[in-house]
C-alpha cells in the first residue's frame, strides 16, 4: 500500500511538473495522462484525489497565476496577457478570472479600482473587529485590535478601491450574528472571491451547526476530496470572513484545536461561547 502511494505521488509530481512547463499550450487530459503512463480516466481520478482539483482546473490556476504576474506589469495589456497565457483572446481571460478569482482581469489589474467598499470597526464578544462590504455583501471581516493595522490589511486586498468609513445595513446584519440565532445567517449576503475549491470548502463550513465541530479530514470527505486535508486546511486558513464563515469549528482529528488566523486562544473562546449558547 505504501509502495503504491509512493508510486502515485511520483506520477502526480511528474504531471504537475509537466503542466507547469506546458500550461501555455493548454495540454489535454489525454496528453498529460500519457506522460505519466495512465489512462485518462485513471489519471483524472488519481490527480483529483491528490491535488483536490481536476487536471483541467489545475492548468487554469497555473494560467491565472501567470496572468496575475503579467497584469501587475504596467505595460501589459489584457490582450497580450491573454495570448501570453495561452488563451485565444480577452474573453477567455475574462472567463478565467470571473470563474476563479470572482472579479474581471481589469478589476484585478486595477486593484479593485471600480469597487466601492464601506467599512466600520465594532466590538464583538471576542475583541475588536473590522467589517467591510460592497453592494453585493460582506467581503472582509477580521478580528484586529489595532484599527490602523485592520485598515491596512483590508486595503492590501483591494489597494485601489474607493473606501468609506460608514456603517451600512449589510454590515449591521453581519454584526447582529453575535446576538441572534445562527439560523439567521442565510439573511447575510457575502461577496467572496476565491477558487472553486476554496468556495466549496467555505460553503461546507457554513453547514457546521452552532456548537458543532468538524475536522479537516471530515471537511475533505464532505467535498468528495478525502485525500485533500492539507488543501482544505489551506483553504480554511484563507477565509476572509471571520466568524460568519465558521472556520473556528474545524479542529484536528486528534482533538487539538489546530491553527487559527486570529489566534488559538480566540478560537477556544469562540468554541466555548457557542457551546454555552447551545446549552442555554
Q: Give the catalytic positions in this structure.
A: 247
Q: How far is CA 239 from each of CA 6, 242, 251, 254, rounded to the nearest angstrom?
A: 32, 7, 15, 23
Cα–Cα distance, 178 to 36 (Å, whole number) = 52
**DSSP letter for each residue of 85-133:** TT-SSHHHHHHHHHHHTSS-HHHHHTTSTT-EEEEEEEEETTEEEEEEE
For 36, the grid coordinates are 505519466
Specify the DSSP class assigned to residue 182.
G
One-character DSSP codes across 185-249: GGGS-B-----HHHHHHHHHHTTSPTT--EEHHHHHHHTT-TT-HHHHHHHHHT-SBTTTS-GGG
Q: How far apart are CA 223 and CA 78, in angstroms?
A: 34
Residue linked to cell 461546507: 204
Q: How many CB atoms sit inside 10 A of residue 239's CB?
A: 24
Q: Give the closest residue to 79 by CA, choosing from 66, 58, 93, 65.
A: 93
Amino acid at each position: 500500500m505504501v509502495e503504491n502511494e509512493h508510486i502515485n505521488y511520483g506520477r502526480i509530481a511528474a504531471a504537475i511538473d509537466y503542466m507547469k512547463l506546458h500550461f501555455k499550450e493548454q495540454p489535454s487530459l489525454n496528453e498529460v495522462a500519457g506522460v505519466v503512463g495512465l489512462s485518462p480516466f485513471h489519471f483524472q481520478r488519481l490527480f483529483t484525489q491528490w491535488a483536490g482539483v481536476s487536471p483541467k482546473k489545475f492548468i487554469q490556476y497555473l494560467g491565472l497565476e501567470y496572468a496575475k504576474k503579467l497584469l501587475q506589469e504596467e505595460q501589459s495589456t489584457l490582450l497580450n496577457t491573454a495570448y501570453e497565457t495561452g488563451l485565444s483572446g480577452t474573453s477567455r481571460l475574462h472567463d478565467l478570472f470571473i470563474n476563479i478569482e470572482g472579479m474581471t482581469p481589469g478589476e484585478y489589474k486595477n486593484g479593485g479600482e471600480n469597487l466601492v467598499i464601506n467599512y466600520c470597526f465594532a466590538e464583538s464578544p471576542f475583541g475588536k473587529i473590522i467589517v467591510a462590504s460592497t453592494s453585493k455583501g460582506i467581503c472582509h471581516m477580521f478580528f484586529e485590535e489595532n484599527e490602523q493595522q485592520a485598515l491596512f490589511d483590508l486595503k492590501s486586498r483591494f489597494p485601489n478601491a474607493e473606501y468609506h468609513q460608514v456603517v451600512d445595513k449589510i454590515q449591521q446584519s453581519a454584526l447582529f450574528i453575535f446576538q441572534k440565532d445562527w439560523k439567521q445567517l442565510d439573511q447575510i449576503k457575502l461577496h467572496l472571491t476565491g477558487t472553486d475549491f476554496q468556495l466549496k470548502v467555505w460553503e461546507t463550513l457554513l453547514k457546521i451547526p452552532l456548537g458543532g465541530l468538524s475536522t479537516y479530514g471530515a471537511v475533505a470527505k464532505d467535498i468528495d476530496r478525502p485525500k485533500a486535508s492539507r488543501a482544505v486546511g489551506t483553504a480554511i486558513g484563507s477565509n476572509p470572513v471571520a466568524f460568519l464563515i465558521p472556520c473556528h469549528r474545524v479542529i484536528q482529528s486528534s482533538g487539538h484545536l489546530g491553527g487559527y488566523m486570529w489566534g488559538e486562544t480566540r478560537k477556544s473562546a469562540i468554541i466555548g461561547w457557542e457551546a454555552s449558547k447551545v446549552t442555554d
